[in-house]
Amino acid sequence: MALLSQIARYRVALILGLTLIVASLLVPGFLSLTTLGLGLDRSSTIGIIAIGLTVLLIAGQIDLSGGAVFALAGIVSIQLQPSLGLWPAACVGVLTGAAAGALNGILSVGFKVNSLVATLATMLIFRSIAHWITASQPVSGTDIMFSLALAKIYFDIFTVRSALFLAAILLLHFWLTRTVSGRNLFAVGSNAIAAEASGISSGKMVFLGFVFASTLAGVAGVLQSLATNTGSPMFGSELTVSVIAAVVVGGTRLEGGRGSALGTLGGVLTIASLTTAMEFQSVPAYVQQVVAGLILILLVVLDRTVRTTARANTRAAVSA
């Protein structure tokens, strides 16, 4: 049982290692720096959203509207370019994300609507707004050179995006493990009432969690739109499953109170290497979806069974 719990503990590293080994055996040239760099750049989209979702899941809530916010923020940042210029437009895009998060937070914390349903509704709302303001057409930006600059690879492996993602993961790790507010987040997630009783304002914390998650979805959307010089209402429609899968692979519990930044990093890299490997082998998109869905379900089931066994053990130990 000790072995099993050790495996459960370091399963992110194990899964990532196995994925990398299998991928490098099956896909020729998978381990070249260029492939890894590209994979990392691609994964940073999922990764940045996953950072926000990690925080929210630890606080015991969920956000399904990430993909829609991703599209909306990107569109805003592109459409405002002619009138505001590139940087201010990007900032407004990110602020759109924050505003979306505030709406989610108001619904969940203020009106006490179950966060799943609230974000399901706002997902519909945000996606509709994205279709509305673009008339369902992709929009393109003014400065194509900027997207080239954003896609440039430094030191053979980093792009601006992936560097940003890795830096954000480190910051998140520091915040979650070394600061008081980070620890409070876990307290809110495992027992909101107890946290409230010990002087933590859990409502405020959850609200800020929603704002944080949507802001990061906005950042990812703006970066994606700038990198492709396009904003489209269709962007991010298949992101929800991948992002949740990435976070859950990373060992963050859906019911709140458990999770880590490094786990999320592992989860994102696993999903990314899987996607890259499958794309190199020209596996059709729908098969990739099946794989992403299977991973999600398998890991949640695994998490469930391992955790209940562990709990049953402690209970047995206490009674003995």
Contact set with other proteins (CB under 8 A): 62, 64, 107, 111-114, 116-118, 120-125, 127-132, 136, 240-241, 244-245, 248, 254-255, 284-290, 292-294, 296-297, 300-301, 304-305
Comparison of 184 and 270: residue with beta carbon closer to other proteins: 270
CB of 231 to other proteins, least distance (A): 15
Could you give phi then psi for residue 268, rounded to 5 degrees?
-65, -45
In the complex with other proteins, the residue whose CB is nearer, 106 or 157, is 106
Shortest spacing between CB 300 and other proteins, in angstroms: 5
Closest by Cα among 56, 132, 60, 136 to 101? 56
Q: What is the nearest approach in angstroms of other proteins to the Cβ of residue 135?
A: 8
Decide whether 128 or 181 has the Cβ nearer to other proteins.
128
Give the nearer residue to other proteins in terms of CB position, either 65 or 184: 65
> Does residue 170 contact residue 47 with C-beta atoms inside 8 Å?
no
User: What is the nearest approach in angstroms of other proteins to the Cβ of residue 177?
Assistant: 26
Query: What does the DSSP assignment read for 12-53?
Result: HHHHHHHHHHHHHHHSTTTTSHHHHHHHHHHHHHHHHHHHHH
CB of 121 to other proteins, least distance (A): 4
User: How many Å apart are CA 230 and CA 137, to the nearest integer?
Assistant: 10
- Of 205 and 244, CB closest to other proteins: 244
The string of DSSP codes covering 153-218 is PBTTTB-HHHHHHHHHHHHHHHHHHHSHHHHHHHHHHH-HHHHHHTT--HHHHHHHHHHHHHHHHH
* DSSP 8-class letter at 254: T
